[in-house]
Amino acid sequence: MTVSVGVFRPDDDRLTRAVELLEELGTEPIPDPMLAVESTDAVPRADADYTVLTSKTGVELAAQADWTPSGVVCAIGSSTADSLRAHGYSVDIVPDRFTSSGMVDALSDRVDGARVDVARSDHGSPVLTDGLEDAGAYVHETVLYRLTRPPRSGVSTELAATGEIDAVLFTSSLTVEHFLEAAAERGLQAEAIDGLAGAVVGAIGPPTHQTAEDAGIDVDVVSDRADFETLARTVIERMSERV
């Protein structure tokens, strides 16, 4: 029996690749984009001692704007680092833990008195900026893009409410929040949360895990790497153990 997997990537090449991967892994993807990217046309500072990029999307927007870094370039996560290199940038620091707190730990003994630009979305965690400020840095935040919920999102919430989805892959706290908003719009939030109790729920990283748990969603798998493929493979492996 083919299992169904809800995938919430933005409706671009990331969703296409996610669907292809899930099909290769023998599942039936349920594409339900929970994020849309709106560029602000901002560019990371060119005079920072340290610039922190937190996502592949941010890198792509910076590259499109012909950003030229002036100091140390830092990336949260392997996919962000890979994207930087693909666009011709050097990557100086990637933390051992692909989280905001992991980046703070990697920079805390380096940035006292330094100018640090954090270039990211409008939903970035204050853990990063507050932590760097506590370490003595002069922190500037460049909002490269806004993340919104596509108006037609939510088919996965209906399937969850009726117990017709076998797994879901939450890739950020915002995908959890938008899933719940879409369910609430349909008057199905409680039913969708209850329905996920019978599914394998995967989350990337501790913040996403915490957001889901706080909303009453039991998380079965927390990926130890901040990339979609690792999360997908780990969730499907867990599903096979249930058979």
Query: And the tokens for 147?
Result: 């993340």
Kindly list the averaged pLDDT for each block of 10 residues, start to end, along the chain of length 243. Answer: 90 92 95 95 96 95 95 92 96 90 95 97 92 97 95 94 96 94 96 96 91 96 83 91 67
Instruction: With residue 118 as reference, give the H or E element that holds it.
Output: strand 115-121
Q: What is the pLDDT of residue 243?
A: 57
Q: What is the pLDDT of residue 209?
A: 93
Q: Which pTM value belongs to this model?
A: 0.82
How many Å apart are CA 99 and CA 196, to the nearest integer? Answer: 26
Strands 138-148 and 36-39: antiparallel
- Neighbour count for residue 218 (Cβ, 10 Å): 11
How many Å apart are CA 31 and CA 204, to the nearest integer? Answer: 18
Q: What is the pLDDT of residue 96?
A: 87
Please choose, from the candidates 125, 84, 99, the residue with its C-alpha nearest in 3D space to the C-alpha of residue 226: 99
The sheet that has 167-170: what strands, in order across it? 28-31, 4-7, 167-170, 200-204, 221-223
How many Å apart are CA 148 and CA 243, to the nearest integer? Answer: 37
CA dihedral 226, 176, 73, 17 (to 10 degrees): 60
How many Å apart are CA 50 and CA 144, to the nearest integer? Answer: 16
Please choose, from the candidates 122, 124, 133, 82, the residue with its C-alpha nearest in 3D space to the C-alpha of residue 99: 124
Q: What is the pLDDT of residue 13?
A: 87
Count Cα neighbours of 103 within 13 Å in the Cβ-side half-sphere: 31
The interaxial angle of helices 189-196 and 173-185, nearest 10 deg, is 130
Q: What is the pLDDT of residue 120?
A: 96
Q: What is the pLDDT of residue 70?
A: 87
Q: Which residues pair with 52 in a beta bridge?
A: 74, 118
> What contacts 241, CB < 8 A, 6 or more positions away?
none
Contact 106, 117 (CB under 8 A): no
Q: What is the pLDDT of residue 141?
A: 97
